[in-house]
Amino acid sequence: MILKIIVCVACVQAVAVGVVSGKSLLLQPRHPLPFTADQAPLIARIGPHDARHPDSLHHHAGHVSSSFSGRHGGKGSVDGCPLCPASHEISPCACRCLNDTAATIECGPELASCSQLTEVMSLNSYPVNTYLRLVVADTNLACKLEKALWGRLVFQEIEIINNMFQALDNRAFQPFSATLTTLNLGGNTLQDVYFSTLSDTPLLRFLTLSYNKVDFLPGYSAMTLPLLETFDASYNKIRKIIAETFAGMPRLQKIDMSNNAITKVYARAFAFPQHDASSLVVNLSNNAISSIEPGVLEGVRVCTLDLRNNHLINLPEAVYRPIIDFTAASAIFWTNNNPFDCDSHFCWIATNQTVSGTFNTVLCPNLGNYPVEVITPMCSILPNTTTPRYSRSRGHPAHPAPFRKSQVSTAVRNLRRPFLRRP
Ligand SMILES: *[C@@H]1O[C@H](CO)[C@@H](O)[C@H](O)[C@H]1NC(C)=O
Ligand SMILES: *[C@@H]1O[C@H](CO)[C@@H](O)[C@H](O)[C@H]1NC(C)=O
Ligand SMILES: *[C@@H]1O[C@H](CO)[C@@H](O)[C@H](O)[C@H]1NC(C)=O
Ligand SMILES: *[C@@H]1O[C@H](CO)[C@@H](O)[C@H](O)[C@H]1NC(C)=O
C-alpha cells in the first residue's frame, strides 16, 4: 500500500517535473543496474515468452499500436519507468517498462528513416544498455540490416516485422552475440540474406523469417545455432533444401518451411548428427515437392513430417522405411493432397500395419481417392513387387508393375471394410 502511494506520487512528480523542466531526475534508475557481463543472471531470468508476445503478425501490429497509445500519459505512464529515457528524447520511438528489470523499445510507422532509427539507438540518455526487446514494426522503411544500424544498446529479442527490409548483411546481429534469444524478421522483403552471420548469435532459440522473399538456404552447417528450437521460414520462395541445412542446430524442435516453392529435398537435408530435443516437427506442406531423396532425415528419434499439398507421386520405401525403423515406428507422415499414383510401389505401405500406421491415411487419386489399403488384394497376387528398384523410381517414378484397371475396379467393388469410404 505504502509502495503504491510512493509510486503514484512519483508518477505525479515525474509528469510535473517533465512538464516544467523537460528533464527529470526521477528518470535515473533507483538501483543502477550493472551493465555488460554482470547482467547475465538477469538476462537468464527474462524468457522470450511473455503474454504480449503473440505469434501472429496481425497481433504484433495491434500490440505495437496499443503500446504507442499507452505511452501518451494517463495511468501507467512510462515516465516513471526507471529503465527508460524521457519519452520526448526517444521519440518517435517509445520505451516501455514491463517491470523493474525489463523494458522494451518500440518504433512504429512514425519512424521516418533508417538514420532516424540509428539516432534513436545512439542516444546518450539510456539509463541501462540491455533491453528485453526492440520492435520495429509497420514502417515503409527498406533499411539494410547491418551492424552500423545499431547504437550501443543490446537486446534479448528483436522483432523487425512488417517493413520493407531487403538485406541482411554480414555481422548484422553480432553486437547482440551475448544476449539475443529471439529474432523475428517476419513480413519484410528479405531476399539478400547473409545466413552464416546468424551463427554470430549462439544464444538464439527462436528464428522467424516468415513472409519474406528468401529463395535459398545454405547447407553444410553454414548456420550453427546450438540452442535454436524453432526455425520458421514459411511463406518464402525457397526452391530446394540441400544437405545439412540444419545439421548445426541440434536442439531444433520445429522447422517450418511450409508455403514455399520447394520442388526437391536432397539427401541429408534434415540430418542431425547429434539431435538433442525430445521431438522434431518438419513442416513442408504447401510446396511443389515432387522428389525426396533417401536419407533425407537422419538422427531424429521422434518426428512428424508434414507433406500435405505437394506434388508427390510415390512414397518410396527407401525414403521412409529407414525413418520408420529409426523412430521405432513413432514417426508420423502427413500426406493428404498429393497426386499419388498408387500401384505396386505402395504395397509396402498397404500390407504392413506398422508402416501404414505412420502414414495418416494415404489417399489414391488414381483409384477414386480410396485409401491405399484398396490395393492390398493385388499386392498378394503380384509377388516380389514390394521391392521395386528405387534408383529408377526416384524423381519420376517408373511404373514397372501397374495394376490392370480391371483388377482395381474389382477390388474397389469388393471393398467391405467400413473405413473405406469416399471422403
Ligand atoms: C519482468 O518482465 C519480464 C518479461 O515479461 C519477465 O520475463 C521477468 O520475469 C520479469 N521480472 C520480474 C522481476 O518480474
Ligand atoms: C504446417 O503448416 C500449415 C500452414 O502453412 C499448417 O496448417 C499445419 O498445421 C502445419 N503442420 C503441422 C504439423 O504443424
Ligand atoms: C512391418 O514394418 C516394420 C517397420 O519397418 C517392420 O519392422 C516389420 O518387420 C514389418 N512387418 C512385416 C510383417 O513385414
Ligand atoms: C520372389 O522372390 C523370392 C526371393 O526373393 C524368390 O525365391 C521367388 O522365386 C520370387 N518369386 C517370383 C514369382 O518371382
CA of 385 to the centre of ligand 4 (A): 10
pLDDT tens digits, the chain, 423 residues: what are they?
444 444 444 444 443 333 333 333 333 333 333 333 333 333 333 333 333 333 433 333 333 333 333 333 333 344 568 999 998 999 999 999 999 899 999 999 999 999 999 999 999 999 999 999 999 999 999 999 999 999 899 999 999 999 999 999 999 999 999 999 999 999 999 999 999 999 999 999 999 999 999 999 999 999 999 999 999 999 999 999 999 999 999 999 999 999 999 999 999 999 999 999 999 999 999 999 999 999 999 999 999 999 999 999 999 999 999 999 999 999 999 999 999 999 999 999 999 999 999 998 899 999 999 999 999 998 986 555 555 544 443 434 444 455 655 666 655 555 444 344 444
- What's residue 360's pLDDT? 86
Using CA atoms in the order 210, 214, 215, 219, what is the torsion angle rounded to 10 degrees? -90
- What's residue 376's pLDDT? 92
Q: What are phi and psi of 3, to 5 degrees?
A: -60, -45
- What's residue 395's pLDDT? 38
Ligand 3 binding pocket includes 324 (Cβ within 6 Å): yes
101 part of a folded domain: yes
- What's residue 45's pLDDT? 31
Using the atom order of ligand 1, give the atom closest to the CA of residue 45: 9
The residue whose CA is least distant from atom 9 of ligand 1 is 46
Question: Residue 28: which of 43, 1, 3, 10 has the closest Cα?
Answer: 10
**Residues flanking ligand 2, CB < 6 Å:** 234, 258-259, 281, 283, 285-286, 304, 306
The residue whose CA is least distant from atom 5 of ligand 4 is 384
- What's residue 334's pLDDT? 98
**Residues flanking ligand 1, CB < 6 Å:** 45-47, 50, 98-102, 132
Nearest listed ligand to the Cα of residue 309 = 2
344 part of a folded domain: no
Pocket test for ligand 1, best of 30, 101, 181, 182 (most atoms within 8 A of CB): 101
Nearest listed ligand to the Cα of residue 381 = 4
Per the structure, the complete domain to which residue 132 belongs is given by 58-214
261 part of a folded domain: no
Pocket test for ligand 1, best of 45, 63, 67, 179 (most atoms within 8 A of CB): 45
Helix (H, G, I), strand (E, B) or coil at 240: strand
Kindly state the cell numbers that stand for 228. Answer: 535454436
Cell numbers 528483436 correspond to 158
CA of 245 to the centre of ligand 2 (A): 20
- Number of domains the chain contains: 1
- Angle (CA) 255-257-258 rounded to 5° is 120
249 part of a folded domain: no
Rounded Cα–Cα distance for residues 69 and 370 (Å): 56
Using the atom order of ligand 2, give the atom closest to the CA of residue 334: 13
Nearest listed ligand to the Cα of residue 384 = 4
The residue whose CA is least distant from atom 13 of ligand 2 is 306
Using the atom order of ligand 4, give the atom closest to the CA of residue 383: 13
- What's residue 380's pLDDT? 80
CA of 333 to the centre of ligand 2 (A): 12
Q: CATH no. for residue 146?
A: 3.80.10
Answer whether 238's CB lies under 8 Å from 262's CB. Answer: yes
Using the atom order of ligand 1, give the atom closest to the CA of residue 132: 4
Length of the chain: 423
CA of 332 to the centre of ligand 2 (A): 13
Nearest listed ligand to the Cα of residue 304 = 2
Residue 4: which H helix or E strand, with range? helix 2-21
Answer whether 156's CB lies under 8 Å from 181's CB. Answer: yes
89 part of a folded domain: yes
Ligand 3 binding pocket includes 325 (Cβ within 6 Å): yes
* Side-chain-side CA neighbours of residue 260 (13 Å): 29
280 part of a folded domain: no
172 part of a folded domain: yes
CA of 309 to the centre of ligand 2 (A): 11
Nearest listed ligand to the Cα of residue 351 = 3
125 part of a folded domain: yes
